[in-house]
Chain A
């Protein structure tokens, strides 16, 4: 491979040389080169080692569709070298070879042959003994991998922006057909997006001399307002949504009509050693010559089944490559128009001939051409070996119809053109260009113009501009270009050499034949067993060859064997590009900075970052009970329900009566599902006749807001809902000195007579407007103080300052959990589950069946009341002092069967005992009943109590 003199339409900029490294060695390149073209220009023929046999592999397709050119760039594995523009300083490394690309020790395993590495080898060999699999896996992953993934999350972090784009018409593919379609639709007034995965639109026209026409068309598209997404891979078709991955952006394009102009994929030929570096697709060789001004070889042999190979031979000759011969499998090859041009240039054309073997060790050194029988074996006396360093092959082409198939089109085998073509298209989807069988540039332009006009017309654009009858007639009359069907496995009389069906996965003809022999005789089964078509190129070059081998082996027709489905993504894409950014932001209270400064242990609690403790949960719990404590409870859900029907709404949502709360008073409530199960709990405070302030659990805030607003929408009550969770900060000041501390910070009369248990007051605390709720979740005299978030930190600081000499101490979530457990205050989701109702969760007192409203869950509670619950929620003490794990099993008797489980358990520091809550069968739910707890092998006794462990009469709370 050498660089040619400047060529018209080349993509490289000879005035801008640059340097990058490949495996640490500097490589010279020109701006506009791909990594692969620069490596080839520097004399490197081997780009990678194959997946299984570690065979050297070189350039094949020249357009980023095969796995031969996968390389590692820094942290990014499996980058497509023949489609990725090279940049100065890029550090490129080879993949899947050790110690180096040139000398790969694992290649020996492939050469050894024998029982090694045959199809199903892993399945059959590494299954026993089962326990050794982790060892096998470590070795195998190293031997058969594609690149190295970054080890840590930070290195893997991949930021992709999502963009949603709605348009009238999305054209996928920017060749002549796609550009023509986009232009026709845009000229008629449609909003058009065109996605093309190359660095510039134009498709194969850029390589076959049509670059001026393609670039002019692209210019007209831009002028007509088409949005061109170049370098954008359309990943799949999902109910009309097409994700287009373009660098750091994932465009979610939703169009009303789609035009697939995805082109076709030239197919390789199957013969022994068809993977040697130097065996190239004819179109790949032409791309290298036209776009990167590379002579892909000095001396070439071309093997083809259609006109594409004849054109390629002419193009190579024109680029200065000596073409030794063209083998065309067609009987009528000599009558084709291009044949006459070959003759003019003195290029030898061998009709009814194909390639039956490539020769050479590290690259192509020759090609054996022969006439073959129906079984693909060379006819005696016809074989001729020609020396060459480039073997350009063209095994026909298949439409790149994956997106069409994903959209619902069916592929049928067209015997006339020897390939699978998309049949009837689904509603709203058009096809143009080579994917629709229009290979010629003129023909592609016609079909594109018609498809674009049709798409626009279907949307009401361009009415009266004609239905293009003249163009349709010309397209209809276009002569078909004949193709011969290549044999499933062309070969000469010699038996050595691997003939590859799938280069990505190193699957040979023999592998597929063996799979059929072992009973995997449907294409779906042999695909999974051999992994043919399952590599990075998604079967682009291997599907048809694999189908041919299965058909030849089973004797079925190609149509009967059928195609397998290529699922999205159609192009390889990093997982990170699909994951995008997380939408749920971490939530922090307005006071969060203070917790950090106080040395809090911060943990996740749902979406919230919360202070779990401040270093000593036991001391914090004792401080609340002996002096005072302050906890940030800003995470509570907070709703304002306002309006004439606000009370009615709450009465229908809660099992107890909320409309009877007097203004300035508070009531505890639980929310139920239709099945009577507890879904959330919190307090309801009546602010005035028509206003209620509702708190919910921290984790349930969003669900409760949604639940309330849903019923409000359904019932059409005159009430409004405002979620103030994020806008309001709240702290709970609790403990024997809480009242004194609060008195120092406010002018409000905080005496028990003026501000009793379950009273609510508006007042200024430290000069801040606050709503004060006297409630007692932690069991001591306590004030939940709510204020605007902006003042949260000031409130926190003021209360800590006011209580400093009285021993106030900030406390976190963990001590709060101990304190509430002492009171047997439940945590919804911790002490309750999806079977918990007020009847069995020790809350029967909360249900008011005498109120008139058909509140949610009422019917279920009425029915359930008539039967004994299967379990009850009770408290327990452990005399032995053990603290069981939450979730530990409760046995029905010592040595008996599991009958319940521990929901909460803690060591209570002030009570100096081990306490907990558990769900137990009714027989064990009585005061002083003995239960047996089995926890991680240990078994111990506990004593049931249904009363709070601390202050059972609530005297402290009310004092």
Chain B
């Protein structure tokens, strides 16, 4: 895996500068009814083959967390943004499982 990411604070950097936080998934607002349902939320991911909204942290830089939309098949990064500046959730947003 090798591509570039644009840190909203620092600019374009190699992906090895960053830590991956996984896909964005909606947290349940209420307690899931069973431990199994909670486990699904905690451990299972959509793992989309395609556009995905995800978390990244600029580990070797400003240490800020930000959002990115990336095509997991091509590593083509559509945009990166701090959480407050991110576009409204679209096709890439994971839904609660």
Which residues of A approach B to under 8 Å, CB–CB?
164, 166, 238-241, 252, 254, 583, 673-675, 705-706, 709-710, 713-714, 716, 723, 858-860, 862-864
- Inter-chain contact A859/B57, CB cutoff 8 Å: no
Query: Pick the contact of A239 from B3, B38, B43, B84 — CB < 8 Å?
Result: B3
Give Cα A705 to B19, complex, Å. Answer: 13
Q: B72 on the interface (CB 8 Å rule)?
A: no
Q: Which residue of A lies closest to B13 (CB)?
A: A164
Q: Which residue of A lies closest to B82 (CB)?
A: A713
Q: Which residues of B contact A673 (CB under 8 A)?
A: 42
Q: Which residues of A contact B83 (CB under 8 A)?
A: 713-714, 716
Whether A239 contacts B65 in the complex (CB less than 8 A), given A710-B21, A714-B83, comes out as: no
- Inter-chain contact A709/B64, CB cutoff 8 Å: yes
**CB of B77, distance to nearest CB on chain A (Å):** 12
Q: Which residues of B contact A674 (CB under 8 A)?
A: 38, 41-42
- Inter-chain contact B42/A675, CB cutoff 8 Å: yes
Q: Which residue of B lies closest to A710 (CB)?
A: B65
- Inter-chain contact A166/B12, CB cutoff 8 Å: yes
Give Cα A859 to B40, complex, Å. Answer: 13
- Inter-chain contact A254/B4, CB cutoff 8 Å: yes
- Inter-chain contact A709/B57, CB cutoff 8 Å: yes
**CB of B60, distance to nearest CB on chain A (Å):** 8
Q: Which residues of A contact B35 (CB under 8 A)?
A: 860, 863-864
Give Cα A327 to B97, complex, Å. Answer: 73
Q: Which residues of B contact A254 (CB under 8 A)?
A: 4, 14
Q: Which residues of A contact B55 (CB under 8 A)?
A: 710
Instruction: With A706-B19, A713-B82 given, name 12 new contacts (CB 8 A).
Output: A239-B1, A239-B3, A254-B4, A673-B42, A674-B42, A706-B63, A709-B57, A709-B65, A859-B38, A860-B38, A862-B31, A863-B38
Q: Which residues of B contact A706 (CB under 8 A)?
A: 19, 57, 59, 63
Q: Which residue of A lies closest to B38 (CB)?
A: A859
From B64, B65, B82, residue with most partner A Cβ within 10 Å: B65
From A241, A716, A862, residue with most partner B Cβ within 10 Å: A241
Q: Which residues of B contact A858 (CB under 8 A)?
A: 31
Q: Which residues of A contact B60 (CB under 8 A)?
A: 583
Give the dominant DSSP class at B's interface: mixed
Query: Pick the contact of A164 from B14, B63, B64 — CB < 8 Å?
Result: B14
Q: B47 on the interface (CB 8 Å rule)?
A: no
Give Cα A471 to B30, complex, Å. Answer: 69
Q: Which residue of A lies closest to B75 (CB)?
A: A239
Give Cα A118 to B79, complex, Å. Answer: 58
- Inter-chain contact B31/A859, CB cutoff 8 Å: yes
Contact flags B47-74 to A (C-beta < 8 A → 1, else 0)? 0000000010101100111100000000
Give Cα A241 to B84, complex, Å. Answer: 32
Query: Pick the contact of B2 from A241, A675, A714, A863 — CB < 8 Å?
Result: A241
Q: Which residues of A contact B87 (CB under 8 A)?
A: none
Give Cα A860 to B43, complex, Å. Answer: 13
Q: Which residues of A contact B3 (CB under 8 A)?
A: 239-240
Closest 7 A/B residue pairs (Cβ): A713-B65, A241-B2, A239-B2, A863-B35, A859-B31, A674-B42, A238-B2
Q: Which residues of A contact B2 (CB under 8 A)?
A: 238-241
CB within 8 Å of A: which of B7-21? 12, 14, 19, 21
- Inter-chain contact A863/B84, CB cutoff 8 Å: no
**CB of A95, distance to nearest CB on chain B (Å):** 34
Give Cα A705 to B4, complex, Å. Answer: 25
Q: Which residues of A contact B31 (CB under 8 A)?
A: 858-859, 862
Give Cα A862 to B65, complex, Å. Answer: 30
A-B contact pairs, 11 of them (CB 8 A): A239-B75, A240-B3, A254-B4, A674-B41, A675-B39, A706-B57, A709-B64, A713-B65, A859-B31, A859-B32, A863-B38
Give Cα A864 to B55, complex, Å. Answer: 29
Give Cα A548 to B47, complex, Å. Answer: 44
Q: Which residues of B contact A252 (CB under 8 A)?
A: 14
Q: Which residues of B contact A241 (CB under 8 A)?
A: 2
Q: Which residue of B lies closest to A712 (CB)?
A: B65
Q: Which residues of B contact A705 (CB under 8 A)?
A: 63
Q: Which residue of B lies closest to A238 (CB)?
A: B2
Contact flags B17-38 to A (C-beta < 8 A → 1, else 0)? 0010100000000011011001
- Inter-chain contact A709/B34, CB cutoff 8 Å: no
Q: Which residues of A contact B66 (CB under 8 A)?
A: 713
Q: Which residue of A lies closest to B65 (CB)?
A: A713
Whether A709 contacts B63 in the complex (CB less than 8 A), given A239-B1, A240-B2, comes out as: yes
Q: Which residues of A contact B82 (CB under 8 A)?
A: 713
Give Cα A174 to B84, complex, Å. Answer: 48
Q: Which residues of A contact B42 (CB under 8 A)?
A: 673-675, 860
Q: Which residue of B lies closest to A237 (CB)?
A: B2
Give Cα A863 to B37, complex, Å. Answer: 11
Q: Which residue of A lies closest to B34 (CB)?
A: A863
Q: Which residue of A lies closest to B59 (CB)?
A: A706
Give Cα A434 to B12, complex, Å. Answer: 35
Give Cα A578 to B32, complex, Å. Answer: 48
- Inter-chain contact B57/A710, CB cutoff 8 Å: yes
